[in-house]
């Protein structure tokens, strides 16, 4: 297809897979997320835990990237990264963040907003050592988000670390670990025909979840 302004404007999909009614949702948004997350797993979607994480600097400059969700419960949503990365620097300055999951095959998305804090060192270490050894070495070798002169310097560092820890455990770097986002606001979006989508929100007010429907 030729790439033209008109062709781009006409790219659209009409959503008809399901609906989201107030009577169908759980009063607890974490439970509701768990139901939808299980649906994504049961549908055998490719990496259903893929999400976009949006952060902002102290001055309010936004930044976003794709990450993997590594756990969730009543306390929040967990992910792991290099604390010295761009996202880590943003969260150090401004702990407010947003997550977004999009499952196009189910015509669903979930938006989550809240405050982020670090998980305990014990949780970070346990998860680090549960990863494949190559991933552990990669996390140790990479000065994430910093400028490097070429790829070879990174590959050489990986080779050095692979030799060093060939027979021993890779220690978790102090600059690598987990974060947990404690949700204050969630939106569950179900695509509907003619762009009249269902949007149900949960907002925490003094520890109690208030549920509302938003116009699409």
C-beta separation of 27 from 204 below 8 A: no
Residue 46 marked ligand-binding:
no
Residue 80 marked ligand-binding:
yes
Q: What is the DSSP string of the chain?
A: ----HHHHHT------S----GGGS-SSHHHHHHHHHHHHHHTT-SSTTEEEEEEE-TT--EEEEEEE--EEETTEEEEEEETTSHHHHHHHH--EEEEEEEEGGGTEEEEEEEEEEEPPHHHHHHHHHHS-HHHHHHHHH--TTS--S-HHHHHHHHHHHHHHTSSSPPPPPTTEEEEEEEEEEEEEEE--GGG--EEEEEEEETTEEEEEE---
Residue 197 marked ligand-binding:
yes
Residue 26 marked ligand-binding:
no
Residue 154 marked ligand-binding:
no
Nearest alpha-carbon partner for 183 in 28, 22, 20, 59: 28
Residue 87 marked ligand-binding:
yes
Residue 14 marked ligand-binding:
yes
Nearest alpha-carbon partner for 203 in 118, 113, 72, 95: 113
Residue 140 marked ligand-binding:
no
Residues in a beta bridge with 201: 187, 212
Residue 81 marked ligand-binding:
yes
Active site (annotated) includes residue 172:
no
Residue 67 marked ligand-binding:
yes
Residue 127 marked ligand-binding:
yes
| Separation between Cα atoms, residue 185 and residue 179, nearest integer Å | 18
Residue 65 marked ligand-binding:
yes
Of the candidates 27, 157, 192, 195, the residue annotated as catalytic is 195
Residue 86 marked ligand-binding:
yes
Give the residue ranges of the annotated binding site.
12-15, 65-70, 80-81, 86-87, 109, 127, 131, 135, 144-145, 189, 195-197, 199
Give the residue ranges of the annotated binding site for FMN.
65-70, 80-81, 86-87, 109, 144-145, 189, 199
Active site residues: 195
Give the residue ranges of the annotated binding site for substrate.
12-15, 70, 127, 131, 135, 195-197
């Amino acid at each position: 297809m030729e790439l033209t302004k008109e062709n781009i404007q006409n790219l659209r999909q009409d959503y008809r897979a399901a609906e989201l009614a107030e009577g169908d949702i759980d009063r607890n948004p974490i439970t509701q997320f768990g139901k939808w997350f299980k649906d994504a797993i049961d549908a055998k979607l490719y990496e259903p835990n893929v999400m976009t994480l949006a952060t902002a600097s102290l001055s309010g400059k936004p930044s976003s990237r794709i990450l993997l969700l590594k756990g969730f419960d009543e306390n929040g949503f967990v992910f792991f990264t290099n604390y010295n990365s761009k996202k880590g620097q943003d969260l150090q300055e401004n702990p407010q963040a947003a997550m977004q999951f999009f499952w196009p095959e189910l015509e669903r998305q979930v938006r989550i907003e809240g405050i982020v804090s670090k998980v305990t060192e014990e949780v970070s270490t346990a998860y680090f050592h549960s990863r494949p050894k190559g991933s552990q070495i990669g996390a140790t070798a990479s000065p994430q988000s910093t400028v490097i002169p070429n790829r070879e310097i990174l590959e050489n560092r990986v080779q050095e670390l692979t030799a060093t820890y060939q027979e021993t455990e890779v220690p978790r770097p102090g600059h690598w670990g987990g974060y947990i986002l404690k949700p204050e606001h969630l939106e569950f979006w179900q695509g509907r025909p003619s762009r009249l989508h269902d949007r149900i929100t949960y907002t925490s007010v003094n520890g109690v979840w208030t549920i509302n429907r938003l116009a699409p």
